[in-house]
Structure 1
Amino acid sequence: MRDDVRERVPGRVRVGTPGRVRVPVGADAARWVTRGRVKRVLFVVHNVTSATRLLDVKPLFDGDLRVQMAVTCTGSSPFLAGVPELLAGVGLPVLPWEQAKEEARGFDVVISASYGGELEVFEGKLVVLSHGVGYNKRLAAPGAGSREPGAGSREPGAGSREPGAGSREPGAVALAAPAAVAPVFGLGPEWLLHQGRPLATATVLSHPEQLRRLRAACPEAAPTAVLAGDPCYDRILEALPHRDRFRRAFGVAPGQRLVVLNSTWAPRALFGDGAEDRLSWLLTRLTSELPADEYRTVAVLHPNIWYGHGPGQVRAWLERARRAGLTPVDPLEDWRQALIAADCVIGDHGSVTYYAAAIGRPVLLGSFPESDLDPESPVAALGRAAPRLRASDDLRRRIAGVIESHDPRAYAALAELTSSAPGRSAALLRNVLYRMMGLPEPAGRPALLGRLPLPAHQPAVRTAPVRVLTRVLRLDPPEVAVARYTDPAYEPEDAEADAAHTVVHEDTSDASLLENADVILRGGDPDDPRLGPPGVWADEVASRYPRCGLAAYLTGVDRGIVRTRGGEVLRLAAAPGGDGRADLCDPAAYVSGLYAWLGDGHGVPAELTVVTGAVRHRVVVERVVASR
C-alpha cells in the first residue's frame, strides 16, 4: 500500500484519502460499524472557545445507544491552535471539514457555537448556540456591507464569518464603522442569513431580551429563535454550593480574599495594549501591593489570548507575576470554579466578567470600551453599573472597598437577563435536539449537564523575593504579626512594624539574591532523594549562605522543618482549624513569624501565634535536633 494513502494514528489505520474518516461515517461505513442504526450528531468547531460551549451540551447525549456523535473543524478561524489537542481529548471521530460538508445529508442534527465556514450546507438541521453570554459586541461587517464578501466565499480571508481580514469574530480590531452603525455579532443578517433565508433551523437564545434585539436586527431569522437558557451559566449555578471547596483548591486560606484577574481578547480588553496598557502596571501591583497572606490572585484569560499568542508566550508574559504568586487558571476547565470562589473580579467587557456579576461577585472594571458594545445589551448595562479601576487608585484600598461595600443584590437585574430559564437549559436543549433528530427523548432519564469538577490543589507558589514586615504583639504567650509583600517595587510601609526581613525561595530566578537573604526556603516531599532529609538540606543551605538566619523546608500545606543559624532544627506545624481541616495559610508566614521572634532576642517557643491580617494561626514548635 502506498505511503501517501496510509496514515497511522493511535489505535487506527486510515486508508484512502489522507485524513478522511471511514468509520462511523463514510461511503462504506455500513460495512465496518458495530452500531449503525443510530442518529448522527455533528459538532462544528471553529476554535477552542466555541468548542468548550459545544462540550457543555455533549452530555445531553451520554448514555443513549441510539446516537453517534462526531466532530469537525471548519478551519475558518485564525484561532486554530489548541483545537486538535482538545478534540483528541474528547475522543469523538474527527471529520475533515470537506468530508463533513460532502456528507451533510448523513447527519440528523448539526450543532455549532459560532459562524464560519459553509454552514449553509447543513440546511434544515443546523442548531446555533451562543459562545458567550448572549450577543453583545458590535462588529463591522466585512466587504462594505456585503453578507458574503469575496465573491460569496465564507472561507478564511475572502468573506469568512470568522475573523481575519474584516473579521466577524466578536472583539476584533476592525471596527471601521461607527459603533452606532456596526451590527451586533450574531444578531445581524450578515451572520444569520444565506441568500435571504435563515442559516439555522434553531437559533438558541438564553433570554427574551435577545429575541427582541434579534427581531429588530434581523426579523427574517426571528422564527428560528428558541429560548433554551444558558448551559454554561447553569453549570455555574449548580456548583455554587461548592464554593468553599473551590476556594481550598485554589489555596485560599480562611480570612484571605481571592482576586480574579479576567480578560477577554482584543486590544481594548484588559489584557490588551490598546489605548491604555493597564496590564503593564496592574500585574506588578496586584502581587506587590496586596499582602500575600490576605489576598490570593489568579488570572482567567480568554482562550483566544492563550491560543492566539501561544501558551508559551502567555506564560512568558505572566512569568514575573507567576513567580510573585499569581496563578494562571486553565482556560478550559477551571475558570468557572475560579469565579465561584472569587471575592472580587477585576475584568472587562467579556462574558466571564458578566457571569461573575450575575452570580453576585463584586466586579471592578479595569477596561470597558463602551463603543464596542450594543448599548442595549446586558453587558453594556454592566458597564454602566460596575465601578471602574484607575491607575491612580490605591489598589489595596480600592479592592477592599469594592468587596466590603458590595451588595450581593446589586446585579440581580443582570442575573435575570443571563437566562430566562436558569437551571433548565439541559431539559430545553435536549428537547430541541431530539425533536430535530426525530427521536424520542430517553425515557426516565433527566437531561443533565456535566458537573464542574473539583480543580487540582493549586496554592500560590512564590519564588520571587518576599519582603516581610513584622511586629511582636505579645511576649506571653508569644504572638507575632506578619505582613508579606512579594517582589515590591519599593519598601512597604507599616507604621506599626518594628522589624523587616527578606525571604528568598531557593528556586528564585536570580540566584544572587540568595547571598543576602535573611530566610531561604523551599517546599517539597521530605523524602525527596534529590534533596536529602530536610535537616540535611538545611545544613547545606546554612553552609553555602552564611548570612542566612533561617533555612526552611516546607513539607506540607501547614508545616515545615527549620534550621536556625545556631544549628537547631525545629519542626513547625499549624494547629487545624475548628472544622478539623488543615490551616491553608502559607507556612512560609510561620517561618517569618519565628524569625521575627528569635530576632527580637527570645528563645525557641513551644508554641507561637502568627497573625496575618485579622487571622490568628497557632503554630506548634518542636525541637527535632538539639542545639549544637
Structure 2
Amino acid sequence: MPVGSDAHRWRTFPSERTLIVAARTLTSTIRVLEVLPSLLRDDPRVTVVFAYDPTSAFSDGSLELLQDSGCRVMPWAQLSDVDPDLILSASENIEVPDGVCPVLVLPHGIGFQKYVPDSRSPHSRMSGVAPDALLETGRAWLALSHPEQERQLLAAHPRTAGRTLLVGDPCLDELLVSTERRDDYRRALGLTADHRLVMVSSTWGPTSLIGRAAELPAQLLAALPWDTYRVGLILHPNVWSAHGAWHIRTLLAAALDAGLLLMPPVHDWRTALVAADAVVGDHGSVTLYAAALGKPVALAAYGEDAVPGTAGAELADLAPRFETKGDPLTQVEELLRGRAQASERYAPVAARAAAGHGTAFARLRAAVYQLLRLEEPPTAPPTARILPAPGNPAGPVTSWVVRTRVDVDAEGRTHVTVRRFPAAVTGLEQQPEGASHFTHLAVRPDEERDRRLCESASVVLGSSSLPAPTPDAAAHWAWDALARWPGSLLAAAPLPSGECLVAVRDGRSVVASATDGRIDPGLAASAVYTFLRAGHASADGPVTLHVGAAHLTLLLRAATPAPP
C-alpha cells in the first residue's frame, strides 16, 4: 500500500488499521509469511506493509523473499513517517521508532532454546527475547508457545513480567495436521514405500551439527545403501543467509552429486520433516519439532549455547547420541528400530514444547486483533492448514559403486544380493572380493559429468526413464557404449517392453525380465555381472534378486542380435 502522509490519495482499498511487519532476518521473514495470511484472511479492514531492515548479519535473502511473495515493501528509514496500529515481527532484535503502537514479537522457533551473540554488545543473549529498552516502553508483547516459558523468561528477564501472550505454536500445528499427507510428500520427494528417509537437521553457528560435522551428509550417503535409504538436509536459514547458496552447494558438492535432498530454507523443510523416517540433529528447533512429531531422533551435536532447563534440554537428556566417527549404518538401523517407541519416548518433550495443539492460529488471530483494537472477523477462527507438497530438490545420481553377493540355496536356486552406493561419495578404492562377493562401478555415461568415472566403469547403463524405442535401437546403443568405453565389461539398455538388454564384451547378450514389471537396468546388469564374475558359463535361468527388503524374481535368457 502507499505510505506516508498523503497515502490516502493513492490507495485503492479502504482500511481501518495498518499493520507493519518488521522484516529483519531471513528466518523471521519466513516465519511471518507462514502464519500471517491465515490470520488476516479475507479481511479488507487491515492493510499490511512490510518494512525491510537490512542491518542484520542474517538479512540477506529477506528482501528477495518479500518481493517474490508479492509483498509491498518500504525501506526501514521510512517507518518513522508511518503511524501504524501494530508492528509485528518474528525478530526480537529490532529498533522500532518512537511511538505508542504495540509491538508483537513472534517466536521463530520453539520457545527460547538458544543463546546467540548480541549485536549490541560483545556478549550473548537469549534468542527470542525483546531488548530491555523496548520492554521498558510497555509496548512489547512476546508470544509464547507454552506457559512454562513465562516462568523461564521471568527468571532470566524480569522485565518480561506481564508482557507475554500464550498462543501455542502455529508451525507445530501445521506439521501435526499435515501428517495425514505424509505419503504424498514422500512421493513428491521421489521416495518409494521401501525407502527410509534420514533427515539431517542443523541450527547455525560453530556448535551446530553442520558447523562441527559438515561431512556427515556425505558419510551417510556413502554408508546407507541407495536402494533402501535417502538422505536429506535441513539447514537453519541463518546458514543460507550468512554464507549463501553458492558456498553451501560448493561445500556439499559430493553429497549433492550423490542425491542429497538439500531442502530450501523457505517452507518445504516442513513437509520433508513430516516425510522423514528418522532425524539426526542438534539443539536447533527443527530437531525439537521432529521429536514433537514422534520421530526417532539422535543428536550429532549439542552446543554449550543451548539453554538449560528447556524442552530442548530435556530432549538432549532423552535422545541417543549419533557418533560422527562411528558406523553410520549401524547407528541409523538402531535408530529406526526405535520408531514404534519414539512417540512415547519424546512425549514429555512434546508436552513442554507447545500447549494447546490445534489452537495456535485462533489464539494468535485473537491476540493480533486485540492489539489492533479491532473486532475479529465474523468468519470461523483459523485452524492450521495442511502443507502443500514439496518440490524435489535432489539431482539425478548417475554412478554407483555396486557390491554384490551370489548364493545358491539348498534347492539349487540362485540368489544375488545387490547393494548400491553413490560413487560421488563412496570412492573407487579396491574393495575386498571373494569367490561369491564382488564390487563394480556402474555409470550412466550419457548423464555422468565426471569422465573419470565413465572411463573406470565396469558396467555402463542406459537411461531407465528413456528406454530405446525398439530392441534393435537398444542393442545398437549397448554395443556402441562398449566401443566408446573400452574399460567396461557390460552395457545395459532398457527395452520398451520393460525388460533390459545386457550386452557382454565377449559378444554375448542377455535379456533380463522381472515377473512384476519393469526392471532397473542397473539391477539387471548387476545380476549378469555377478553371474559372470562367479564363473557361471552363462547368465541363464531364474535368479532371485535381493535389494534391501525387496525380493525380485528375474528371468535371464540368452538373446540376439550379436554385436555389429
TM-score (norm 2): 0.87
* Alignment of 1:429 onto 2:364: yes
Partner of 2:81: 102
Partner of 1:389: 322
Aligned-partner residue type, residue 388 of structure 1: R
Partner of 1:128: 105
Aligned-partner residue type, residue 501 of structure 1: H
Deviations 1:557-594 (A, max 9, x none): x9685441347585766836xxxxxx9x9763344234
Partner of 2:349: 414
- Aligned-pair CA distance for 1:524: 6.9
Question: What is the distance in 1 between the residues matched to 2:473 and 2:279?
Answer: 41
- Aligned-pair CA distance for 1:90: 1.0
Question: What is the distance in 1 between the residues matched to 2:475 and 2:345?
Answer: 53
* C-alpha spacing 1:318/1:535, structure 2 compared with 1 (3 Å): farther
- Aligned-pair CA distance for 1:79: 1.7
Aligned-partner residue type, residue 516 of structure 2: A
* C-alpha spacing 1:500/1:77, structure 2 compared with 1 (3 Å): same
* C-alpha spacing 1:624/1:79, structure 2 compared with 1 (3 Å): farther
Question: What is the distance in 2 between the residues matched to 1:494 and 1:364?
Answer: 34
* Alignment of 1:482 onto 2:418: yes
Partner of 1:271: 210
Deviations 1:90-146 (A, max 9, x none): 10211111112321x1x332210012332254643311101111111124656xxxx
5+ long unaligned stretches in structure 2: none
* 2:79 and 2:97 in contact (8 A); partners too: no
Aligned-partner residue type, residue 97 of structure 1: W
Summarize the alignment of residues 72-111 of structure 1 with structure 2, pairs less than 5 Å apart: 72-103=51-82, 105=83, 107-111=84-88
Deviations 1:254-310 (A, max 9, x none): 3332111111111111111xxxx4334x24421222222222111111112122111
Deviations 1:311-349 (A, max 9, x none): 011101111112223221122122112221222211111
SS of 1:331 mapped into structure 2 = coil
Question: What is the distance in 1 between the residues matched to 2:132 and 2:521?
Answer: 56
- Aligned-pair CA distance for 1:527: 8.2
Partner of 1:364: 298
Question: What is the distance in 2 between the residues matched to 1:61 and 1:533?
Answer: 59
Deviations 1:414-440 (A, max 9, x none): 001121111111111111112222333
* C-alpha spacing 1:316/1:477, structure 2 compared with 1 (3 Å): same
* C-alpha spacing 1:468/1:69, structure 2 compared with 1 (3 Å): same
Summarize the alignment of residues 164-563 of structure 1 with structure 2, pairs less than 5 Å apart: 166=121, 183-187=125-129, 191-194=131-134, 196-200=136-140, 202-272=141-211, 277-280=212-215, 282-369=216-303, 371-406=304-339, 407-408=341-342, 409-457=344-392, 461-473=396-408, 479-487=415-423, 488-489=426-427, 497-506=436-445, 507-521=447-461, 523=463, 526=466, 537-552=477-492, 562-563=501-502
Aligned-partner residue type, residue 575 of structure 1: D
SS of 1:300 mapped into structure 2 = strand
* Alignment of 1:610 onto 2:550: no
* 1:136 and 1:373 in contact (8 A); partners too: yes
Question: What is the distance in 2 between the residues matched to 1:208 and 1:496?
Answer: 65
Partner of 1:149: none
Deviations 1:170-218 (A, max 9, x none): xxxx6x5xxxxx642334xx72443833441x31100011111122223
* C-alpha spacing 1:383/1:315, structure 2 compared with 1 (3 Å): same
Question: What is the distance in 1 between the residues matched to 2:150 and 2:79?
Answer: 30
Question: What is the distance in 1 between the residues matched to 2:513 and 2:193?
Answer: 19
* Alignment of 1:575 onto 2:554: no
Q: Over aligned residue pairs, what C-alpha RMSD do you find?
A: 3.3
**What is the aligned-residue identity percentage?**
32
* 2:258 and 2:422 in contact (8 A); partners too: yes
* 2:220 and 2:328 in contact (8 A); partners too: yes
TM-score (norm 1): 0.79
* 1:571 and 1:624 in contact (8 A); partners too: no
Deviations 1:382-418 (A, max 9, x none): 1222111224422211121122135221110100112
5+ long unaligned stretches in structure 1: 1-22, 143-158, 160-165, 167-173, 177-181, 577-582
Question: What is the distance in 2 between the residues matched to 1:331 and 1:574?
Answer: 42
Deviations 1:362-400 (A, max 9, x none): 11111111x212211211221222111224422211121
Aligned-partner residue type, residue 526 of structure 2: S
Aligned-partner residue type, residue 186 of structure 1: G
* C-alpha spacing 1:193/1:394, structure 2 compared with 1 (3 Å): same
Question: What is the distance in 2 between the residues matched to 1:324 and 1:115?
Answer: 39
Aligned-partner residue type, residue 328 of structure 2: L
* 2:177 and 2:384 in contact (8 A); partners too: no
Partner of 2:47: 68
Partner of 1:119: 96
Aligned-partner residue type, residue 401 of structure 1: E
* 1:559 and 1:574 in contact (8 A); partners too: no
Partner of 1:36: 14
Question: What is the distance in 2 between the residues matched to 1:533 and 1:117?
Answer: 65
Aligned-partner residue type, residue 127 of structure 2: F
Question: What is the distance in 1 between the residues matched to 2:135 and 2:376?
Answer: 34
Aligned-partner residue type, residue 158 of structure 2: P
* C-alpha spacing 1:555/1:568, structure 2 compared with 1 (3 Å): closer
Question: What is the distance in 2 between the residues matched to 1:587 and 1:118?
Answer: 60
* 1:42 and 1:109 in contact (8 A); partners too: yes
- Aligned-pair CA distance for 1:473: 5.0
Query: Bigger CA drift: 517-526 or 233-242?
Result: 517-526
- Aligned-pair CA distance for 1:544: 0.4
SS of 1:413 mapped into structure 2 = helix
* C-alpha spacing 1:494/1:250, structure 2 compared with 1 (3 Å): farther
SS of 1:297 mapped into structure 2 = strand
Aligned-partner residue type, residue 94 of structure 2: G
- Aligned-pair CA distance for 1:447: 0.8
Question: What is the distance in 2 between the residues matched to 1:606 and 1:435?
Answer: 76
Aligned-partner residue type, residue 183 of structure 2: D
Question: What is the distance in 2 between the residues matched to 1:559 and 1:418?
Answer: 50
* C-alpha spacing 1:597/1:496, structure 2 compared with 1 (3 Å): closer
* Alignment of 1:51 onto 2:13: no
Aligned-partner residue type, residue 419 of structure 2: A
SS of 1:299 mapped into structure 2 = strand
* 1:573 and 1:621 in contact (8 A); partners too: no
Question: What is the distance in 1 between the residues matched to 2:150 and 2:134?
Answer: 20
Aligned-partner residue type, residue 483 of structure 1: R
